C-alpha cells in the first residue's frame, strides 16, 4: 500500500473523509452507513478495514461508492437495508446522506395528512412507537408547586394600615345586613 499516492481528503458519496482515518471508521462518517454495514461492504469488496482511507485507489473508491448506492445489486439481503418496501415504489432501498431526512419528513407528513394515529402522535410531539408516557418523556415547563413568590407581611408592620381602614367600612355594612 505504500507505493500508492496518499490523499488527505477522500470524497465518498458526498462526504469528505480525512485520509488518516481507518477505512472502516471513515465509511461510518457517511450518513446512512453504520459499523456493520461498512464491515459488510469492505468484506464483499475484499478491502482491508484496517488500512488508512487516504491510501485507497480511485478504482477502490469508485467500487465502494457503487456498492453503497446499490447494495441490492451487490448481493446484500433486503433485511440489511435501511428502507424496506418503500411506500411509493415498493422496492427495498438503502438511503444515504440527505435522502434520509427528506424521506422521513415526507413519511411523517403523509401520516399527518392521512389522520392516522401515528400522525396525531407526531403532530402533538408525543411518543409514537408505544413507549411508556406515564413517567418519561416529560419535556417543557415544570409542573407542581412554584418556588419563591411573595411572602405574607408580618403583623404590626406597615401593611396593617390598609386593613385598619377596611375595618370601619365592614362595621357599617354589618348593621345594614342585620336590618334586612
The model's confidence at residue 96, banded by pLDDT at 50, 70 and 90, is very high
pLDDT of residue 144: 63
d(CA 1, CA 151): 77
Which residues in the chain are classed under CATH 1.10.8.50? Answer: 9-74
Specify the higher pLDDT residue, 14 or 137. 14
The model's confidence at residue 174, banded by pLDDT at 50, 70 and 90, is low
| Three-state DSSP state, 30 | coil
d(CA 73, CA 67): 8
Specify the higher pLDDT residue, 77 or 146. 77
CATH of domain 9-74: 1.10.8.50
pLDDT of residue 47: 93
- Kindly state the average pLDDT of the residues 96-105: 91
Specify the higher pLDDT residue, 7 or 140. 7
pLDDT of residue 133: 87
Task: Single out the residue of 60, 41, 42, 44 nearest to residue 1, CA to CA.
Answer: 60
Q: Is the pLDDT confidence value at 112 over 80?
A: yes
- Kindly state the average pLDDT of the residues 136-163: 67
d(CA 98, CA 91): 19
pLDDT of residue 59: 94
Q: Is the pLDDT confidence value at 154 over 90?
A: no
pLDDT of residue 14: 87
Amino acid at each position: 500500500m505504500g507505493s500508492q499516492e496518499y490523499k488527505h481528503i477522500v470524497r465518498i458519496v458526498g462526504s469528505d473523509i480525512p485520509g488518516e482515518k481507518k477505512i472502516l471508521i471513515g465509511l461510518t462518517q457517511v450518513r446512512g452507513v453504520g459499523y456493520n454495514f461498512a464491515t459488510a461492504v469492505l468484506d464483499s469488496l475484499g478491502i482491508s478495514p484496517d488500512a488508512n482511507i487516504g491510501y485507497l485507489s480511485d478504482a477502490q473508491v469508485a467500487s465502494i461508492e457503487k456498492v453503497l448506492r446499490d447494495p441490492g445489486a451487490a448481493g446484500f439481503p433486503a433485511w440489511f437495508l435501511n428502507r424496506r418496501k418503500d411506500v411509493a415504489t415498493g422496492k427495498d432501498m438503502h438511503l444515504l446522506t440527505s435522502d434520509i431526512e427528506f424521506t422521513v419528513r415526507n413519511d411523517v407528513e403523509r401520516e399527518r395528512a392521512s389522520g392516522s394515529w401515528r400522525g396525531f402522535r407526531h403532530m402533538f410531539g408525543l411518543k409514537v412507537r408505544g413507549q411508556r408516557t406515564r413517567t418519561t418523556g416529560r419535556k417543557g415547563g415544570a409542573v407542581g408547586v412554584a418556588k419563591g413568590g411573595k411572602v405574607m407581611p408580618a403583623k404590626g408592620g406597615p401593611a396593617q394600615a390598609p386593613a385598619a381602614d377596611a375595618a370601619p367600612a365592614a362595621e357599617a355594612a354589618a348593621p345594614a345586613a342585620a336590618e334586612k
